[in-house]
Amino acid sequence: METLEQRVAQARENIRAAALEAGRDPAEVTLVAATKTQTDETIRAAIRAGITVCGENRVQEMNAHLAENAYEGAKLHFIGRLQTNKVKYVVGKVSLIHSVDSLHLAEAIERQADKLGVVQDILLEVNVGGEEAKGGFSPAETQTAAETISQFPHLRLRGLMAIPPICVAAGGNREFFVKMAQLYVDIRTKINDNVSVINCLSMGMSRDYEDAVRAGATMVRLGTTLFGPRAQKAVPSHKN
């Protein structure tokens, strides 16, 4: 059976190959381990296996792992949907929030960062597939939102993040990755002061990270391919 070390090494190798194929420097791409539902032990094992960044989705799980120092030796990012009433548990504790999906949320993070006297690094989440059920800025409004938010004194806009529609067909999300890469370039050139600061494009998950890297991702968020399938919610079983 493959070990966690082998899966981490394989993912890194695939990222490297995809980057080289696209004429990119593999060192530009950071592997973020999506650690939702994993135990403290697994997170520690992943860090021993070379993971340098953990991405968490749920505030409660994150706090439990923090209390056990499970992320020691790695950076911590927040990648899940963040409600404004939970902002106080995240700001100042993570080095990057990927999932800023509204101006309202950005304002709440700004207020909390101000209160703590910190500057919080963030990405704007783009609803690149225009999905009704998903949060995030539409591609058309991203530029204006980026300009507004880059003026907030306690936020540092580092780039963009996207979760394209779930797509079963191989290569199905390429058009979205290419669209994100274009938006990212537009924002980097428009917000001139921040050209060196805006250097993060977070996109690509287990199914499609190589396509994302070929299109220009600087961060891929991998769960299943590193840790295996996540346990499903228990389904009530029929009594015989």
Ligand X SMILES: *Cc1c(COP(=O)(O)O)cnc(C)c1O
**Binding-site ranges for ligand X (CB under 6 A):** 34, 36, 57, 79-80, 163, 205-207, 221-225
Q: Tell me the three state secondary structure of residue 151.
A: coil
In whole angstroms, how close is the CB of 10 to ligand X at the nearest point?
14
Taking CB atoms, the residue at the shortest distance from ligand X is 223
In whole angstroms, how close is the CB of 79 to ligand X at the nearest point?
4
Q: Which is nearer to ligand X, 4 or 191 (CB)?
A: 4
In whole angstroms, how close is the CB of 205 to ligand X at the nearest point?
4
Q: Which is nearer to ligand X, 117 or 231 (CB)?
A: 231
Q: Which is nearer to ligand X, 191 or 220 (CB)?
A: 220
In whole angstroms, how close is the CB of 212 to ligand X at the nearest point?
11
Q: Which is nearer to ligand X, 64 or 195 (CB)?
A: 64
Q: Which is nearer to ligand X, 129 or 223 (CB)?
A: 223
- Which residues on adjacent β-strands are paired with residue 160? 124, 201
DSSP letters along 199-217, please?
-EEE---TTTHHHHHHHT-
Contacts 24+ apart (CB under 8 A), 186-194: 186/143, 187/142, 187/143, 187/146, 187/159, 187/160, 190/143, 190/146, 190/147, 191/146, 191/147, 191/150, 191/157, 193/150, 194/150, 194/157
What is the C-alpha separation between 72 and 64, in angstroms, rounded?
13
In whole angstroms, how close is the CB of 76 to ligand X at the nearest point?
14
